[in-house]
């Protein structure tokens, strides 16, 4: 979870009455922290946003959205390279859950270059991640550095 994610969450919370941030599994992504750890980080990072809650889901996003009767799935876009994959995902979700729509929020320029993959690589080489992630995540990375 990066400051870019937090920015998208805060902006979505201004647009919708209720926002549920879902910590989901994605077999194509290598995660540094477990789903439960990421859930804890999220809760701590967004505690001050009253209309946002967090949940863990191990399945299709469209199925979760259907279960919650969600009107929209919010996705963040950094660059055109994100768009093709996100567009395909949005079309698939629409097919699986016709009552939901995907809303794309573009990142602020401050976070354009930032990705969770970049942060994981930085951490793997012992770099300082604190500029890119909330304090709770930075502390977890730093605790791991001290162990090694």
How confident is the model over 12-36, as a mean pLDDT? Answer: 88
Q: Is pLDDT above 70 for 48?
A: yes
pLDDT band, very low/low/confident/very high, at 72 (cuts 50, 70, 90): very high
Q: Which of 42, 46, 49, 52 is nearest to 18 (CA)?
A: 52
Q: State the pTM of this model.
A: 0.91
Q: Is pLDDT above 90 for 52?
A: yes
Q: What is the pLDDT of residue 25?
A: 75
Catalytic residues: 5, 29, 78, 116
Q: Is pLDDT above 70 for 148?
A: no
Q: For the range 27-31, what are the long-range contacts, defined as Cβ-Cβ under 8 Å and sequence gap of 24 or more? A: 30/120
pLDDT band, very low/low/confident/very high, at 66 (cuts 50, 70, 90): very high
How confident is the model over 77-96, as a mean pLDDT? Answer: 91
Lookup: tokens for 17: 């009455």
Q: Which of 90, 60, 59 is nearest to 73 (CA)?
A: 90
Contact 112, 79 (CB under 8 A): yes
Question: What domains, with CATH codes, occur in the chain?
Answer: 3-111 (3.40.50.620)
30-39, 87-96, 118-127, range with the lowest pLDDT: 30-39
């Amino acid at each position: 979870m990066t400051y870019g994610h937090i920015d998208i969450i805060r902006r979505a919370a201004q647009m919708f009455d209720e926002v549920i941030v879902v910590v989901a599994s994605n077999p194509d992504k290598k995660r540094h922290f477990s789903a439960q750890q990421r859930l804890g980080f999220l809760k701590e990072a967004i505690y001050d946003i009253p209309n946002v809650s967090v949940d863990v889901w191990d399945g299709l996003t469209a199925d979760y959205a259907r279960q919650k009767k969600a009107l929209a799935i919010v996705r963040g876009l950094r660059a055109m390279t994100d768009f093709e994959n996100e567009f395909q995902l949005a079309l698939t979700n629409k097919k699986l859950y016709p009552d939901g729509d995907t809303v794309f929020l573009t990142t602020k320029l401050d976070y354009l270059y930032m990705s969770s993959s970049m942060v994981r690589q930085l951490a793997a080489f012992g770099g300082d991640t604190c500029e890119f992630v909330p304090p709770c995540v930075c502390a977890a990375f730093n605790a791991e550095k001290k162990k090694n």
